[in-house]
Amino acid sequence: MQLLLAAVVVLPLVGALAALLPAPPGLRGKNPDQAVLRHGMTVTGVVLAAAVALAAGFDHDDPARMQAGTDISWIPALDIRIHLGVDGISLPLLVLTALLTFLCALYSYFHMPAGPSPKAFVALLLTLEAGTLATFAVLDLMLFFLAFEMVLIPMYFLIARWGGAGKQAAAWKFILYTLLGSVVMLLGLLLIGVKSGTFDMVALATDNGPNARLSHTVQVLAVLAIGIGLAVKSPLWPLHSWLPDAHTAAPTVGSVLLAGVLLKMGTYGFVRIALPITPDGMQTFAPYLAALAAVGIIYGSLACLALVRKGAKGDLKRLIAYSSVGHMGFVLLGIASMTPTGVNGALFANIAHGLITGLLFFLVGALKDRYGSTDLDALAGSTGAALYGRAPRFGGLLAFGAVASLGIPGLAGFWGEMLAMFGAFQPAAGLSRPAFLTFMVMAGLGTLLTAAYLLLVVRRVCMGGTPHLAPTAPLGTADPADEDPSVQTAAAPAVPDIARYEYAAWTPLAALTVLAGLWPAALLGLTDPAVQQLLGGGK
């Protein structure tokens, strides 16, 4: 188990270095580009297999215990250690990261985004996976910071070199926001380490450990500093403004990993660091965190409604990015309740968002490839894009993703949001219940608004009459039939339906969305004992 966890963290980094080397003669395939893309798919597949084996060997009867641990002294003078381990909180995120990265590598093998050499693309993708996996596996505050920062440069280049319109500005905005937040977070992590005498996250999370020496003032300052860095990555309103631009400009696989994995690093930090190590400071800021989360839920929904209305020239990819602000608001609301119910809901919503939004970004990327645009007005025309009639499987899967995202019972999106609101209904002792009831009502209103804009998306993109313009025609061109009904134009040919490689990349996400919705105990059984121990001071 120790070797498996170490392999999960280290193999992507080794694979990234190997991707930059010439392929051996027997593995070059038809051309070097194909060889390096196959290399990326192979490495991420091996990492996924190791993550699944780790999950299979995990002691599910004791998910609160750190397992597969490695603890090696690295910098003795500062007591910084290479400390790895997984419990019921981090294991699902490890598997989700390995799965999404493999699916992105598989999708890219058949549909490489336009840009520079695939060698750099694969190396950056694997480096991004290594940093993300390390973030969920390390148990030392300084290693957590290094892993947290490790993902920034790969994502910056994925956006800046393989992105679409506005990619340079979006990439700069992404890295400036996240770097500034991380600098402040580092100050908070150093404050904890200096005042407690250790950076070990397990020891700090125990009541009778070094955190007993952290005063209330130190905890408040630490939560303020660490919370800013984590809130930027989550993202928490109003620190979210980098996200829509980054998603809109990023290539398809960049958007999938950004939404499905990178946003989870911020919320995971709140659960792993802020809640157990600085509980007094967290309780001080919990009402403000909950208020901003509730506002984010409403704001994200209203922004999506503004984008989806006819004539707004809203971008579907940007709409899903704004929807992430709302969905992550539920995660942060659950964390702010500081109750086992709310935190479990937050962790469940994390996984559900990764599955559903990852699927939606895959679908929107494929929609852009078919139509040449993700502008909703251009897609829908005057009657609707009619995906049900032109590409029924594609249209059906898009409608499935939208319905799952709005939180319908029986699918993964329902349980996390419901439990987060239950946590707000009865917050932890010492928190204002009337205030949290207000936040819960705001979140409930957000679910109604979410249903409204997602159903509008389905109506405009999946339904409607047969469009007059072929998908290869300029989508912004006015149709003569719109102005003069007497003008008759030929119906457009059918849009290509789901290809085999798309089935392979998207089916696991759809299947897991259904499985998590019908069998939530599989995930909650892992997280609940670990959350109970975390909130109980390590006991």
Q: Once rounded to an integer, what is the mean pLDDT over residues 39-45?
A: 91
Residue 509 has pLDDT above 80, yes or no: yes
pLDDT score recorded for residue 68: 82
Nearest to 54 by CA among 77, 17, 88, 21: 88
Residue 26 above 80 pLDDT?
Answer: no
Q: What is the pLDDT of residue 144?
A: 92
The pLDDT assigned to 250 comes to 85
Average the pLDDT over each of 190-204, 340-354, 431-445 and give the range with the smallest value.
190-204
Q: Which residues pair with 75 in a beta bridge?
A: 80
- Read off φ and ψ for residue 67, nearest 5 degrees: -120, 165
Mean pLDDT, the chain, whole residue set: 84
- Report percent pLDDT > 90 for the chain: 30
Q: Which of 58-62, 231-235, 275-279, 512-516 has the highest mean pLDDT?
A: 512-516
pLDDT of residue 115: 74
170-188 per-position pLDDT tens digit? 888 888 888 888 889 999 9
Q: Give the single-character DSSP code of 372.
A: S
| pLDDT for the residue 494 | 62
* The residue to which tokens 């520079």 are assigned: 116
Write out the DSSP string of 386-422.
-HHHHSHHHHHHHHHHHHHHTT-TTSHHHHHHHHHHH
Q: What is the pLDDT of residue 23?
A: 63
What's the pLDDT score for residue 24?
61
Query: Is there a contact between 438 and 432 (Cβ–Cβ < 8 Å)?
Result: no
Residue 161, pLDDT > 80, answer yes
Q: What is the pLDDT of residue 491?
A: 47
Q: Which tokens is 423 given?
A: 């946590």
Residue 245: closest CA among 128, 159, 312, 157: 159
Q: Closest Cα partner for 162 from 84, 257, 236? A: 257
pLDDT tens figures, 73-124: 888 877 788 888 898 899 999 999 999 999 999 999 888 887 788 888 999 9
- pTM for the whole thing? 0.87
State the Cα torsion 250-256-259-261 to the nearest 10°. -120
Lowest-confidence pick of 96-105, 236-245, 267-276, 417-426: 236-245
Is the pLDDT higher at 311 or at 142?
Answer: 142
Tell whether the model's pLDDT for residue 340 goes beyond 60: yes
Tell me, what's the pLDDT at 237? 84
Compute the average pLDDT of residues 161-167: 81
Check pLDDT > 80 for residue 209.
no
Residue 498: pLDDT band by 50, 70, 90 thresholds? Answer: confident
Identity of the amino acid at 376 = L
Tokens of 354: 């990764």
